[in-house]
Amino acid sequence: MSAQALSDALWGMLAAGGLAAVAVSHLAGAHLERISALVRRVEANRAAYVCVIVSWMWVGWHFFAR
């Protein structure tokens, strides 16, 4: 297996794992916390809230402007 194929497979597995986790967390009676609930808990702290917002800003600047 080439390095490129291995990298593609790993990224694909991570993406699939993320999507599966989102789907599982939305099932009734699931034991996995939803991302929205997790973000709300993190954001309960104002400093963490500012960190989340600044991270969002950095992602946008990195991908779209620079």
Instruction: Give me the residues that bind another protein (CB under 8 A), please.
Output: 2-4, 7-8, 10-11, 14, 17-18, 21, 25, 28-41, 43-44, 52-53, 56-57, 59-66
**Closer residue to another protein, CB minimum distance, 44 or 47:** 44
Minimum CB–partner distance for residue 54 and another protein (Å):
10
Minimum CB–partner distance for residue 47 and another protein (Å):
13
Q: Which has the closest alpha carbon to 50: 28, 58, 34?
A: 58
- Give the span between the Cα atoms of 14 and 2, in whole angstroms: 19
